[in-house]
Amino acid sequence: MPSAAPPPAALTARTAGPLRGRVRVPGDKSISHRALMLGAVAIGETTIEGLLEGADTQATAAALRAFGASVTRTGAGIWKVRGVGVGGFLEPEDVIDYGNSGTGARLALGLVGSQAISATFGGDASLRNRPMGRVLDPLRRMGVQVLARSKDRLPLTLKGPDITLPIEYRVPVPSARVKSAVLFAGLNTPGVTTIIEPTPTRDHTERLLQAFGAAIEIELGADGERVVRLEGRRDLKPQQVAIPGDPSSAAFLIVAALLIEGSELTIEAVLLNPMRTGLIETLIEMGGDIEIGNRRTIGGEAVGDIHVRASRLRGVVVPAERAPSMIDEYPALAIAAAFAEGITVMDGIGELRLKESDRLASLAAGLGANGVTVEEGPESLAVTGGAVRIGGGDVATRRDHRIGISFLVLGLAGQAPVTIDDATPIDIHFPEFQALMSGLGAHFERAEPAAA
């Protein structure tokens, strides 16, 4: 059953004055999904503080309730999850609707696949168009049956066997979600499930599994390969999880502050896991004045306050190897690149075609409509910065929150207003964006959508 999207609401962003102050961004989306899911399979009550309360994580919370866990909100960002044990999911009566959430759906395929139940996964039009095969392939090897109407796309039904088989799986594409889905399936699998990651990706799953008391071992090979071994069918202990600010949300504020003259902004308590800081590294290489202070650890993750001052940027070549550490930040980087002197080349980013929209196509179209020269390759984007007049265009968000926010930032930093055709996807991941930026003096106006 497809989920109903809210009616589109067009929004215009106009040139903003300096952004100054100290702000916080919502909790990290990746950790939020994982904390809810692990809470649901621990035995006892987990408390989560700083949970991202966007549409995506709400879909995960609703799904976990349908599988029998109790998930309740007890205050702003504070959630309690009473888990049912690693093999304790109940068979849901209805289709589980993951809305627009690729992460929610993919991680849950692993968590649910190893349970001896049947469950049907659905989602919105964008999610039904996204490939699930990369997660389903290893699950099939573990004995999970998959019934899909159209090849490896949602809606699909999983039927878990009585006992899943432990596998050794070399992840064929750098994907934290594939790794995590297999590890989640491994939780209810007797024996040792092994993941080999030729290219390491974000390791929030491993860190949380360690915190929840799972029998997990991580080995780093000399050639950079990571091997993760998890012994299944062990009880998980409930935890108090504190979730730091999402660096993928902070990305938009960092870029806006770098681009808008006179800005000086501190974004507090942002997650600085080294597998998530590729954008900061790149913006510093481009000449961005970014300093990290107050480094500390929250919930087993590195955190710091990011201090940004408006800067003149220059184009750089972003190495393909950096992609896993900034995969969701390329839209924000493309906006920074539009204002940098020279060309910014982003290579090895074909994965962006498989996100909420084909992000290479969405970025190329949006930049082009706003006077920026851009070259779209099969797996790359080259943006020529510094056009005399940036802005003035209409942008199709294609139900993609990161495309929507990125072009609002372009409108705030540019010389002419930018209208996005639909701001509703922003609620998926960063519902506070508009209010937060308005509090810093930015102007947005409801607009009539451009005629199709």
Q: Using CB under 6 A, list all residues that contact ligand PEP.
A: 56, 100-103, 328, 355-356, 402, 429
Among 79-87, 175-183, 292-300, 420-428, the segment contacting ligand S3P (CB under 6 A): 175-183
Q: Measure the CA–CA gap between 70 and 351, rounded to whole angstroms.
A: 35
Q: Does 307 bind ligand S3P (CB under 6 A)?
A: no
Q: Does 176 bind ligand S3P (CB under 6 A)?
A: yes
- Residue 30 is labelled as binding a ligand: yes
Buried b / exposed e across 351-379, counting CB within 10 Å, b at 16+? Answer: bbebbbbbbbebbbbbbebbbbebebeeb
Number of neighbours of residue 189 by Cβ within 10 angstroms = 27
Residue nearer to ligand S3P on the CB measure, 144 or 176: 176
In the complex, the smallest distance separating the C-beta of residue 103 from ligand S3P, rounded to whole angstroms, is 4
Q: Measure the CA–CA gap between 24 and 22, rounded to whole angstroms.
A: 7
Q: Which residue in 28, 305, 328, 400 is the catalytic one?
A: 328
In the complex, the smallest distance separating the C-beta of residue 87 from ligand PEP, rounded to whole angstroms, is 26
In the complex, the smallest distance separating the C-beta of residue 368 from ligand S3P, rounded to whole angstroms, is 24
Q: Measure the CA–CA gap between 76 and 78, rounded to whole angstroms.
A: 5
180 Cβ neighbours under 8 A, 6+ residues apart? 34, 106, 107, 110, 205
Residue with tokens 């003259």: 261
Cβ atoms 251, 304 nearer than 8 A? no
Lateral strand order in the sheet of 96-97: 96-97, 118-122, 156-159, 145-148
Residue nearer to ligand S3P on the CB measure, 37 or 269: 37
Greatest Cα pair distance, the chain, in angstroms, is 64
What part of residues 114-153 is at the interface with ligand S3P (CB under 6 A)? none
- Residue 3 is labelled as binding a ligand: no
- Residue 34 is labelled as binding a ligand: yes
Binding partner of 429, given ligand PEP, ligand S3P, none, CB within 5-8 angstroms per partner class: ligand PEP
How far lies 309's CA from each of 46, 210, 284, in Å? 39, 37, 11
- Residue 102 is labelled as binding a ligand: yes
Q: Is 223 a catalytic residue?
A: no
Q: Measure the CA–CA gap between 132 and 205, rounded to whole angstroms.
A: 19
Residue with tokens 């290579």: 347
Among 9-17, 90-98, 108-116, 170-178, the segment contacting ligand S3P (CB under 6 A): 170-178
State which amino acid sits at residue 328: D
- Residue 402 is labelled as binding a ligand: yes
Residue nearer to ligand PEP on the CB measure, 266 or 407: 407
Q: Does 175 bind ligand S3P (CB under 6 A)?
A: yes
What part of residues 319-348 is at the interface with ligand S3P (CB under 6 A)? 327-328
Cis ω before 8 (30° cut-off from 0): no
Binding partner of 399, given ligand PEP, ligand S3P, none, CB within 5-8 angstroms per partner class: none
Single residue of 12, 30, 406, 434 touching ligand S3P by CB under 6 A: 30
The DSSP 8-state label assigned to residue 443 in this structure reads E
Binding partner of 189, given ligand S3P, ligand PEP, none, CB within 5-8 angstroms per partner class: none
Cβ atoms 215, 296 nearer than 8 A? no
Three-state DSSP state, 27: strand
Residue nearer to ligand S3P on the CB measure, 128 or 202: 202
- Residue 223 is labelled as binding a ligand: no
What part of residues 200-229 is at the interface with ligand S3P (CB under 6 A)? 202
- Residue 124 is labelled as binding a ligand: no
Residue 185 parent element (H or E): helix 176-187
Three-state DSSP state, 438: helix
Residue nearer to ligand PEP on the CB measure, 101 or 282: 101
Single residue of 60, 103, 164, 193 touching ligand S3P by CB under 6 A: 103
In the complex, the smallest distance separating the C-beta of residue 180 from ligand S3P, rounded to whole angstroms, is 6
In the complex, the smallest distance separating the C-beta of residue 429 from ligand PEP, rounded to whole angstroms, is 6
Q: Which residues are annotated as a binding site for 3-phosphoshikimate?
A: 29-30, 34, 175, 328, 355
Site for ligand S3P, rule CB under 6 A: 30, 103, 175-177, 180, 202, 327-328
- Residues with a known catalytic role: 328
